[in-house]
Amino acid sequence: MRSVVREMEGYAPGEQPEAGQRVVKLNTNENPYPPSERVMQALAGVSGELLRRYPNPTADLFRDAAAKLHGVTRHHIIAGNGSDDILTIATRCFVPPRGTLAFPDPTYSLYPVLARLEEAKALAVAWGRDWSLPVEALANSSAQAIYLANPNAPSGTFVSPLKVAELAKIFPGLLLVDEAYADFADDNCLPLVQRFGNVVVVRTLSKAYSLAGLRFGYAIAQPAVIAEMMKVKDSYNCDALSIVAATAAIEDQSHARGTWENIKAERTRMTAELTQLGWTVLPSQANFILAAVPSGRGREMYLGLKEQGILVRHFDLPGLQDKIRITIGHSHENNALLAGVKMLTAAGKAA
Ligand SMILES: Cc1ncc(COP(=O)(O)O)c(C=O)c1O
């Protein structure tokens, strides 16, 4: 066993209920709406012949659809088995052993795990005031790569593309912008790909297209960068079913956009309702909110809600202990959460 593996914690995914268990699941930022009907039709139309053969190794059907959507060529795109696969490919590609991967902290907890697997250092750089991008500290970190989740998880906060461009310009290494939640935001960093050879933008179908179970993500960067990333990926990293389904999903923009609009409206409502109850809610551009419990007892709130069958996420980390992260669900799920919070507050349990 490599000592780096033996000594590491490993990534801890959010809890998934057992099949058939009834819970209000607001803990892993899934989209509460079903995927497009066109996805289900595409899957129903799959032939045995498609499964008998190996899939197209570079998922070109999907790359062409995504290229059309984003106004780039297929050579600007690499597809992966979820965006986690893309993040693994990027880390293997750009972060050398004994090198450094830097990221503003707190953020997506997979990044340090990926760095450790490459026997590289994970350098957590504290966010600036009000979750502003620590441009200087990141640029001067002597890292080979910076990963920026934008909107960030678990804060939901957003860094303007102008600020990201500032960093891309002065940082000599790779700047990966993880846009898992960008479809719920007012803006995104895709245009930076044309301007900067060192920018890789990562997207996923898990949230915006209601396909977390499918496992499909992709990256957009200049063709020279994508060509290098292609060398690093597993030969058939996307299966035939996922290629067909993911393509149908991004071709049905009107379905996906409808879900984004509903989620954004509920995000506004939930922020207002919790603020009314005395909670401090960070302004979110994602499909979740990070909210501070008035009493500061975030873990008790998380446990109290769990007892009522409502799952949210609590992070036992500095700066996050007093908060819970709530995925925006259906309005009836969000109402269940509000009722749960009110009950715990009345009982003097956590709030
Ligand atoms: C910031 C961020 N990036 C990437 C992912 C992984 O998404 P995927 O399902 O595409 O692997 C997540 C999932 O929670 C995330 O929060």
- Whether ligand 1 lies within 6 angstroms of the CB of 212 is answered as yes
Q: What is the mean pLDDT of residues 143-150?
A: 98
Angle made by CA atoms 106, 111, 113, in degrees to the nearest 5? 115
Specify the pLDDT at position 17. 84
113 CA to middle of ligand 1, Å?
14
Ligand 1 pocket: which of 62, 81, 158, 206 to mutate (most atoms within 8 A of CB) = 206
Q: What is the mean pLDDT of the chain?
A: 96
Q: Which amino acid is at 243?
A: I
Closest CA to 133 of 149, 115, 145, 110: 149
Strands (E), the chain: 24-25, 77-80, 100-105, 121-126, 145-149, 174-178, 199-204, 217-220, 280-281, 288-292, 310-311, 323-327
Model pLDDT for residues 11-33, shown as the tens digit of each residue: 888 788 888 888 999 999 999 99
Specify the pLDDT at position 175. 98
Model pLDDT for residues 232-274, shown as the tens digit of each residue: 999 999 999 999 999 999 999 999 999 999 999 999 999 999 9
- Whether ligand 1 lies within 6 angstroms of the CB of 204 is answered as yes
Specify the pLDDT at position 349. 65
Can you give the pTM of this predicted structure?
0.97
| CA–CA dist 21, 139 (Å, integer) | 47
| CA–CA dist 264, 221 (Å, integer) | 28
Angle made by CA atoms 60, 64, 67, in degrees to the nearest 5? 130
Residue 347 has pLDDT above 90, yes or no: no
Query: What proportion of the chain, given as a percentage, has pLDDT over 90?
Result: 93
The helix (run of H) or strand (run of E) holding residue 299 is helix 298-307
